[in-house]
Amino acid sequence: MKKISLHPLTWPICSIAIAISVVRLNTPLFAIVSVGVVGFIVFTQREDAPWGKSFDWSLKVALWILIIRIFIGVSIGLPIPGTTLFTLPRIPLPDWMPGIRIGGAVTLERVSSALGEGVIICAIIVIFSAAASLTSPHRLLRVLPIYVYEFGVTVVIATSVLPQLVSSVARIRMAQRLRGQQTKGFASYRRLAIPLLEESLARSLDLAAAMDSRGYGVNRKRSRYRPISWRMSDSAVVACAGIVMALS
Amino acid sequence: MRGDSDGLIVIKFSDVSLIYPNSTTTVLENLNLEITEGELVLVIGPTGSGKSSLLRLINGLVPHHTGGILAGDITVDGISTRDVKPGGLAHLIGIVGQNPLNGFVADTVEEELAFAMEALNLPHETMRKRVEEVLDSISLTQLRSRSIATLSGGEQQRVAIASALVMHPKVLVLDEPTSALDPIAAEEVLSILHRLVHDLSLTIIIAEHKLERVIGFADRIIHINGDGQTMVGTAEEIMAVSNIAPPIVHLARALGLDEVALSVRHMRRMTQELRDSTPIHRVKTKPASTLPVIEIENLSLAYGTKIALNSISATIFDNEIVAIMGRNGAGKSSLLRSIAGINELEHGQVLVHGLKPKDLHRKIRRESIGYIPQEPSDLLYCQSVTKECEVADRDNELTTGTTHALLTQLVPGIALHRHPRDLSEGQRLGLALSVVLSANPKILILDEPTRGLDYEAKKTLTRILIEFASIFNRAVILATHDVELVAELATRTIFIADGDIVADGPTLDVLLSSPAFAPQVAKVMSPQPWLRVRDVLDAIGGRTQSC
């Protein structure tokens, strides 16, 4: 499929619109459908750039959140009457905590409501990360107004660190597997986190220094070499998302 | 002779002292220096001595960006760095960092070039004109619409230089511009700089470890000791006394010549007699063992549609030190990773002591293959040197202190409570090496170990690797761009281009067959097959004194 070049703000605006519709409709089916659509767009449109891969990561994170949400939803909270699937042993709580219970009967309704809520939360995460993986953070920065200078710098650092983290993770994991370390399990995350944090910090400082010495933010006004213009295709994409939001 | 006081002074350091908070050593002390227009000044010194700080003082990144206490004053074209922030000097000074990729802001080459001009609000027409000019002068026209992420190391460096030049600066500052480049790409970058100095009278300040690459271009040298002391002088003056020197200077000293030569041409003239009076003398090398350690058969590898390795076969034997050389992106790292068992192999196989490296895990892996990645710090994750050693002891079921003992043997004098991040490049490599070597691996693989290492650290690395290979009878494989290092230690060199092995043989033969990859001593002494200062001395025997 041909890749269309859009304004860097187009996808972020769309993702906000779709996320609002997901929340307003509050039906898992719509959430799943929008994740499907968004996923299709990402897999056909994303560039082979570091930030492109952030979508895959968000899918994994969303899956974990879903699992945790279902587990908590089923084991803790108010009982919902209905068809009992199975009964968990109930942990007795003191009298001053009425209304909360841990364990007990697991009903079909309880599972489905936990699942439904989980799906909606995950859908929102995935929708926003889709925008992140479709939008080059560098181009996004270029359309930000200059008067948000300090903020703009923060945005550059944050956006360039996150996707680069993804590629650094792969590299560090590889190195540590070669040191004969386990790359699964809790301890491995600690081993990963420290070199990763150090590296991204150093990298961000480099970037900030480079931007500073190239005169970023010196002038209140900023000229454009090749202005990024808002085109018909951008309006069309945003309009579609807007209609979805209006209908929801 | 440039460097005299007759030129227009562009940069002036007056009584500059610099100290960082939480540090006991002064980086610079009372430095007085005037740099005139069109000078190329080289900054040398051991790692961590403050070369980068000196460079960053010029446009005020130090102390505006990094903190630190600065006394004295630095002016660039009459503007004091006290009065303006780095951004205010952007039109005067172009600065190219150690790793240009970290400083890129835009996606494509053209947009990157325009970035700084946009920030200074230059009119559209000016920008278009300047971008075209620079694309032509640095020969980047082919790359103008390429995505930055897909550029090779040499191309990135050129784009970084170009994006500084579009501002028409008076001063260009470069921090180790060739450390990550292969000799050919480095040559390209340096010849551009040389041309800029001569054609545009640009003032250039470079920090660099690989002096053999840059020394011929330098008008003056600033030598930083690390304890605040600096020496400033012409290249000849500094090289006559400096302990940091390229092989060509070491050769002149070893031969007892009265003056040091900085170019191969000059040195050849001075050693004409010596070369001619000695019959062609080939250095004897130890025969390699016949016990194969690594067997590579028809190995092929591709990333998507790009072929990284194209049906490579080679056998590596015990106690060999094999250097893998080639341009950036030729497939060196891919080969090393296949041997280490990270990459999925497409065709063919790799056997290490008869085992497939991909199937090795944990302790067996540590005992079979030691691997040092391009960033040695990827292996380290503890909060201090001591803890790092303790973990290695525990992993390998050694008595406590073994790794630490190894570390002190390899690189003495590392403060144990320090964080690995705060060590110098050489010390960090030493720590990673001792962690890996504590498992006593049967083979050792190093990917670009000399990036950012100074001569002293390189010497230590050479000693460690030679001992490991010869005393323990182990194979060492390293990918590197550093011809001088290869000449010092490798017994065999494999040259890769475009995924194929184009040369494989004793280091002596491979290095001498290609002028671009010949070490300095070989260039001076050609047609004599000598690669190192040591070889020359061995060959001429006791005649050193009489020269």
Distance (Å) from the alpha carbon of B337 to chain A's nearest alpha carbon: 10
A206-210, B482-486, B499-503: range with lowest mean pLDDT: A206-210
Q: Cβ of B375 and A175 within 8 Å?
A: yes
Where exactly are the structural domains of chain A? 7-135+224-248, 140-217
How many whole angstroms separate alpha carbon A199 and alpha carbon B428?
14
Assess whether the previous peptide bond of B527 is cis (omega < 30° from 0): yes
- pLDDT for A146 equals 62
Distance (Å) from the alpha carbon of B274 to chain A's nearest alpha carbon: 49
Residues in contact with A145: Cβ distance below 8 Å, sequence separation at least 6, in sequence order: none
> Which amino acid type is present at position A244?
V
| B75 or A164, which is more confident | B75
E strands, B373-499, in order = 443-447, 475-479, 492-497
B-interface mutation test, from A135, A165, A225, A226, most B Cβ less than 10 A away: A225
Give the model's confidence band at B547: pLDDT under 50 very low, under 70 low, under 90 confident, else very high. Answer: very low
- pLDDT for B425 equals 80
Q: Which residue of B has its CA nearest to A153?
A: B105
Give the model's confidence band at B495: pLDDT under 50 very low, under 70 low, under 90 confident, else very high. Answer: very high
Give the model's confidence band at B146: pLDDT under 50 very low, under 70 low, under 90 confident, else very high. Answer: confident
Quote the mean pLDDT of chain B: 87
The 10s digit of each residue's pLDDT in A22-55 is 999 889 999 999 999 999 999 988 877 767 888 8
The 10s digit of each residue's pLDDT in A103-115 is 777 888 888 888 9
B24-33, B269-278, B412-421, B486-495: range with lowest mean pLDDT: B412-421
Give the model's confidence band at B544: pLDDT under 50 very low, under 70 low, under 90 confident, else very high. Answer: very low
How many whole angstroms separate alpha carbon B296 and alpha carbon B446?
18
Judged against a pLDDT cut of 50, whether residue A125 lies above it is answered with yes
- pLDDT for B250 equals 92
Q: Cβ of A199 and B61 within 8 Å?
A: no
How many whole angstroms separate alpha carbon B513 and alpha carbon B532?
16
For the ranges B330-339, B391-400, B481-490, the one whose mean pLDDT is highest: B481-490
The 10s digit of each residue's pLDDT in B234-278 is 999 999 998 899 999 999 999 888 888 888 999 999 988 888 888
Q: Cβ of B93 and A213 within 8 Å?
A: yes
Give the model's confidence band at B486: pLDDT under 50 very low, under 70 low, under 90 confident, else very high. Answer: very high
- Say if residues A150 and A211 touch (Cβ distance below 8 Å): no
**Number of C-beta neighbours around residue B17 at 10 A:** 15
How many whole angstroms separate alpha carbon B9 and alpha carbon B19?
26
Q: Which residue has the tokens 């005067």?
A: B92
Distance (Å) from the alpha carbon of A90 to chain B's nearest alpha carbon: 42
A144-148, A229-233, B131-135, B539-543: range with lowest mean pLDDT: A144-148
Task: Please list every residue in chain B whose beta carbon sits closer than 8 Å to the beta carbon of residue A207.
Answer: 102-103, 105
Sign of the Cα pseudo-torsion (B402, B407, B413, B414, in order): negative
Judged against a pLDDT cut of 80, whether residue B304 lies above it is answered with no
The 10s digit of each residue's pLDDT in B173-201 is 999 998 888 888 888 899 999 999 999 99
| A227 or B269, which is more confident | B269
How many whole angstroms separate alpha carbon A75 and alpha carbon A90?
9
| B6 or B403, which is more confident | B403
Q: Which residue of A has its CA nearest to B373?
A: A175
Strands B171-175, B93-96: pairing is parallel
Give the ipTM. 0.83
Sign of the Cα pseudo-torsion (B83, B88, B89, B94, in order): positive
- pLDDT for B2 equals 43
Across the strands, what pairs with B205? B41, B173
> Which amino acid type is present at position B280?
I
Residues in contact with A29: Cβ distance below 8 Å, sequence separation at least 6, in sequence order: none
Closest residue by Cα to residue B436 from B425, B445, B427, B423: B445
Closest residue by Cα to residue B322 from B449, B484, B494, B444: B494
| B486 or B411, which is more confident | B486
Could you tell me the CA-to-CA distances from B547 to A70, B276, B544 in Å, in that order?
A: 85, 13, 6
B391-400, B442-451, B475-484: range with lowest mean pLDDT: B391-400
Closest residue by Cα to residue B508 from B532, B482, B524, B534: B532
Q: Which residue of A has its CA nearest to B120?
A: A219
How many whole angstroms separate alpha carbon B367 and alpha carbon B364?
5
The 10s digit of each residue's pLDDT in A162-196 is 666 777 888 888 877 777 776 667 777 877 887 88
How many whole angstroms separate alpha carbon A24 and alpha carbon A246?
10
Q: Cβ of B378 and A207 within 8 Å?
A: no
Q: Cβ of B436 and A179 within 8 Å?
A: yes
Task: Please give the average per-residue pLDDT across B151-178, as a whole number.
Answer: 91
- What is the per-residue DSSP string for A63-86? HHHHHHHHHHHHHBS----S-EEE
Closest residue by Cα to residue B390 from B374, B406, B376, B377: B406
- Say if residues A138 and B105 touch (Cβ distance below 8 Å): yes
- pLDDT for A175 equals 78
How many whole angstroms separate alpha carbon B37 and alpha carbon B203?
5
Task: Please list every residue in chain A whose beta carbon sits closer than 8 Å to the beta carbon of residue B93.
Answer: 213
Alpha-helical segments (H) within B149-260: 153-165, 183-200, 211-214, 235-241, 247-254
Residues in contact with B296: Cβ distance below 8 Å, sequence separation at least 6, in sequence order: B312, B313, B314, B315, B316, B335, B338, B339, B348, B349, B350
For the segment(s) B292-513, the CATH number from 2.60.40.10, 3.40.50.300, 1.10.287.610, 3.10.20.740 is 3.40.50.300
Quote the mean pLDDT of chain A: 82
Assigned token pair, A209: 């220094």
- pLDDT for B517 equals 85
Assigned token pair, B45: 């010194």
Closest residue by Cα to residue A230 from A10, A18, A42: A10
Task: Please give the average per-residue pLDDT across B288-312, as a whole number.
Answer: 85
Judged against a pLDDT cut of 80, whether residue A224 lies above it is answered with no
Q: How far apart are the first and last CA of chain B?
A: 30
A135-149, B50-64, B408-422: range with lowest mean pLDDT: A135-149
E strands, B176-305, in order = 203-207, 220-224, 230-234, 292-303
Where exactly are the structural domains of chain B? 246-277+521-547, 292-513
Buried b (16+ CB within 10 A) or exposed e, B493-528: bbbbeebebebbeebbebbbeeeebbbbbbbbbeeb
Task: Please list every residue in chain A whose beta carbon sits closer than 8 Å to the beta carbon of residue B364.
Answer: 180
- pLDDT for B11 equals 95
Sign of the Cα pseudo-torsion (A134, A138, A141, A142, in order): negative
- pLDDT for B546 equals 39
The 10s digit of each residue's pLDDT in B463-478 is 999 988 888 889 999 9
Q: Cβ of B119 and A217 within 8 Å?
A: yes
How many whole angstroms separate alpha carbon A6 and alpha carbon A228?
9
Task: Please give the average per-residue pLDDT across B454-460, as a whole number.
Answer: 89
Q: Cβ of B366 and A156 within 8 Å?
A: no
Assigned token pair, B280: 């062609």
Closest residue by Cα to residue B232 from B205, B269, B213: B205
- What is the per-residue DSSP string for A130-151? HHHHHS-HHHHHHHS-GGGHHH
Distance (Å) from the alpha carbon of B192 to chain A's nearest alpha carbon: 21
Judged against a pLDDT cut of 80, whether residue B512 lies above it is answered with yes
Give the model's confidence band at B545: pLDDT under 50 very low, under 70 low, under 90 confident, else very high. Answer: very low
How many whole angstroms separate alpha carbon B341 and alpha carbon B352?
10
How many whole angstroms separate alpha carbon A12 and alpha carbon A238?
10
The length of chain B is 547
The 10s digit of each residue's pLDDT in B521-537 is 999 998 888 999 988 88
- pLDDT for B328 equals 80
Judged against a pLDDT cut of 70, whether residue B10 lies above it is answered with yes
Assigned token pair, A53: 């891969």
Residues in contact with A221: Cβ distance below 8 Å, sequence separation at least 6, in sequence order: A146, B121
| B273 or B40, which is more confident | B40
Q: Cβ of B118 and A224 within 8 Å?
A: yes
Q: Cβ of A216 and B102 within 8 Å?
A: no
Q: Cβ of A207 and B103 within 8 Å?
A: yes
- Cα B202–Cα B203–Cα B208 angle in degrees, nearest 5: 120
Task: Please list every residue in chain B whose beta carbon sits closer than 8 Å to the beta carbon of residue A208.
Answer: 65
Task: Please give the average per-residue pLDDT across B89-99, as a whole number.
Answer: 91
Judged against a pLDDT cut of 80, whether residue B5 lies above it is answered with no
- pLDDT for A155 equals 63
Give the model's confidence band at B228: pLDDT under 50 very low, under 70 low, under 90 confident, else very high. Answer: confident
- Cα B504–Cα B508–Cα B513 angle in degrees, nearest 5: 70
Task: Please list every residue in chain B whose beta carbon sits closer than 8 Å to the beta carbon of residue A149.
Answer: none
Q: Cβ of B59 and A213 within 8 Å?
A: yes
Q: Cβ of B97 and A226 within 8 Å?
A: no
Considering chain A, what percentage of its residues have pLDDT values greater than 70?
Answer: 88
B-interface mutation test, from A53, A179, A201, A206, most B Cβ less than 10 A away: A179
- pLDDT for B1 equals 43
Q: Which residue of A has its CA nearest to B60?
A: A213
The length of chain A is 248
B-interface mutation test, from A214, A223, A229, most B Cβ less than 10 A away: A214
The 10s digit of each residue's pLDDT in A134-156 is 887 767 777 777 666 566 656 65
E strands, B484-540, in order = 492-497, 500-506
Count CB pairs under 8 A between chains A and B: 161
- pLDDT for B160 equals 94
Judged against a pLDDT cut of 60, whether residue A74 lies above it is answered with yes
